[in-house]
Structure 1
Amino acid sequence: MALETTRSSPFPPGFCISTSRLNISPFDPDSSIHAGFLVRLWNTDDFINSCGRTSITNPEKASIFIRNRVLQQYTVNQHGMFLVSLKNKDTLPATPIGTVSLMKGSPPDLHYTAPDIGFAILPEHSGKGYAVEAAKGVLEWAQSHLGIEAVFGFCDPSNQRSRRVLENIGMDFRGITGLRVFGAKTTAIYALPGMSKDLAIYGLDELDK
């Protein structure tokens, strides 16, 4: 097991991106609720079928992953993977239902310079527009607070649910191809309107070139 690295979140206490039905907040490695939820979400059949099986099989592993990987993204990029929670009435705490992310690789690994947006919602909460609402909320925050104007969306070409979400948040379909950063995997590519049609500008090279 990887050694745990001491990191702290760059977000102020209580930071939250609020939408009409959702709270979008940073992950806390010291929260047993956050760690337990990540284990639950990433081990659903829906997530495994879409993203593959991970090594996050218990709360301890989830907490280490959040501290070492998620907080690193926060520190380096001021964005990363966030917890999506359903607002409850009165004083009840919000209920975790999924994640939404703006992720970007870093050198020396193969990487691209614009982040890509991702989302995962528990099966029992899917089909209610939460992924679209969360993705729109994060995009609007990233554009207004971080000045981010270039964002990609990637998914398996056969994943119609993810493709509908990307289309519903206003992204343009840029085709299906194999990208070097993803090896031989064929990928459906989406991008925000106004981004260059030359993907190489963002560090994305097609395998066939």
Structure 2
Amino acid sequence: MSAVFSPPPSFSIQTERLHISYFEPGNPDHTAFALHLWSFDEITKYIGKRGIVSLERADEFIRTSVQADYNRTGYGRFLVSLKPHPQASLAESKLIGVVSLILREPPLGYPCPDIGYAFIPDEWGKGYATEAAIALIDYALREFNVKGVFGFCNPDNKRSRRVLEKIGLEFRGEKILRFFDDGTPSAIYALPGMDSDLSVYGMED
């Protein structure tokens, strides 16, 4: 049985405007926010509904899928909270989104994690996804022994592609990824310095 990863509740990665923190299984505020975030069609059209259709299912998702990533790697999906002022504590800040860095398990996954983000639509266009993703990647390179980061998105998702470019990832073409079962190609981005031959990472043509 794997150990349960349990970070201190006060942990956060801070930026000028944001706190980036772990989900807490059983925290009613986190459960309610997950249900709220996954209720927007603008979000689920790209990241999927994931069965989050009730508070019970949101709680189950955090306790199982989210916690499983924490137990396996120490990272995964993180909450993003907006500070009301630059010195604000995590408790004072407002939940506005999720930023993720997920290392998918073999045989469907790849050897480097991929960055993702989802924010409530009222907060779009303010640079929060870019700010949160940069901070999480920087922290992961220092603290989680991450050697490379991918970004995957629907080729038609222009908003997501702009974020991936703003955080410094480079476009590496389009490929069908084995962990998506719809057979449609994804736009592939990677950190500078990663091998240009994606077959090195198990991505075949």
| Fold match (TM-score > 0.5) | yes
Moved over 4 A (4+): none
**Superposed displacement of residue 7, structure 1:** 7.4
The answer for the alignment partner of 2:60 in structure 1 is 64
Q: Does the alignment pair 1:83 with 2:79?
A: yes
The answer for the alignment partner of 2:188 in structure 1 is 189
Structure 2 SS opposite 1:83? strand
The answer for the alignment partner of 1:106 in structure 2 is 105
What is the letter of the counterpart of residue 201 of structure 2?
Answer: Y
Partners of 2:83 and 2:3 in 1: how far apart? 28
Count of aligned positions: 201
Structure 1 SS opposite 2:141? helix
The answer for the alignment partner of 1:158 in structure 2 is 156
Partners of 1:11 and 1:191 in 2: how far apart? 28
The answer for the alignment partner of 2:140 in structure 1 is 142
What is the letter of the counterpart of residue 25 of structure 2?
Answer: P
**Superposed displacement of residue 6, structure 1:** 10
In 2, are the aligned partners of 1:73 and 1:79 still within 8 Å (CA)?
yes
In 1, are the aligned partners of 2:2 and 2:71 still within 8 Å (CA)?
no
The answer for the alignment partner of 1:49 in structure 2 is 45
Partners of 2:8 and 2:126 in 1: how far apart? 30
In 1, are the aligned partners of 2:103 and 2:114 still within 8 Å (CA)?
yes
Partners of 1:71 and 1:112 in 2: how far apart? 20
Q: Does the alignment pair 1:95 with 2:124?
A: no
Q: Does the alignment pair 1:9 with 2:15?
A: no
**Superposed displacement of residue 73, structure 1:** 0.5
In 2, are the aligned partners of 1:16 and 1:25 still within 8 Å (CA)?
yes
**Superposed displacement of residue 105, structure 1:** 1.4
Partners of 1:8 and 1:27 in 2: how far apart? 13
Q: Give the direction of change, closer, same or farther, for the CA distance of 1:6–1:173 in structure 2 (3 Å limit).
A: closer
Q: Does the alignment pair 1:40 with 2:39?
A: no
In 2, are the aligned partners of 1:7 and 1:71 still within 8 Å (CA)?
no
Partners of 2:49 and 2:28 in 1: how far apart? 21
**Superposed displacement of residue 66, structure 1:** 0.7
The match for 2:15 among 8, 19, 25 is 19
RMSD: 1.9
Please say which of residues 91-100 and 67-76 is displaced more in the overlay: 91-100
In 2, are the aligned partners of 1:113 and 1:202 still within 8 Å (CA)?
yes
Partners of 2:70 and 2:98 in 1: how far apart? 15
Q: Which runs of 5+ in 2 are unaligned?
A: none
What is the letter of the counterpart of residue 106 of structure 1?
Answer: E
Partners of 2:2 and 2:61 in 1: how far apart? 12
Q: Which runs of 5+ in 1 are unaligned?
A: none
**Superposed displacement of residue 45, structure 1:** 1.7
